[in-house]
Structure 1
Amino acid sequence: MRLHPIFNEWRMHNGIDLSAACGTPLYAAADAVVSHMGYDSSGGWRLVLSHGSVDGVNLQTVYLHAEGYRVRAGDRLARGQLVGTMGSTGWSTGCHLHFGVKADGRHVDPLGWLS
């Protein structure tokens, strides 16, 4: 839970925010297939990468608030491949990447999956 910086109310924050300048390159966390790329008012430019079965769970990573992405649904990606650039789209108070992880469709703490 955290105090939402725009709505000033306590809400679940399903991920971690990594700040850097707008235009900073964003890279795929691991080999993946792009399962979704689109825009919505809260997350701005949203990217979901499906990594298949990892340690017995169906793993996905979620990227929000980008200036834009250079990939499309169905694209196959390699770990470290450029996917887009950091931005401040959607409900955002400055340039950053909201990075989330889903295990079997449920949000989990991303820190347990980063290496």
Structure 2
Amino acid sequence: MPVLDDQLTTTFAALADPIRRAILARLTRGEATVGQLAEPFDVSLPAISKHVKVLQKAGLIEQTRRAQWRSCRLRPEPLRDVVSWMALYRDFLGDSVERLDQYLSDLQNGETP
């Protein structure tokens, strides 16, 4: 099965790494420099810079430059696309949970499902 090179695929690939997810979580509180983003991690600054580049390529963050400082900030659009995609499965997941709940209820009541 070929891998699709679309925005959603790129976004999910970027979100697959826990450090990148933590960087995004930090940026929900406001802009930060790469150095500030690196503080909680026991990895090198170049490694954090690589994570930032992956997030930039996915469109999840953007960098701004003020004098010699570069700040990163969250871009919500790709995350909205993920939420929209997941909404397609909301009914299915809801039905599955309801069916499981009914099955467990039947078992508790001694009924044969």
Q: TM-score, normalised by structure 1?
A: 0.25
Q: TM-score, normalised by structure 2?
A: 0.25
Greater Rg, structure 1 or structure 2? Answer: 2
The structure with the largest strand share of the pair is: 1
The structure with the largest helix share of the pair is: 2
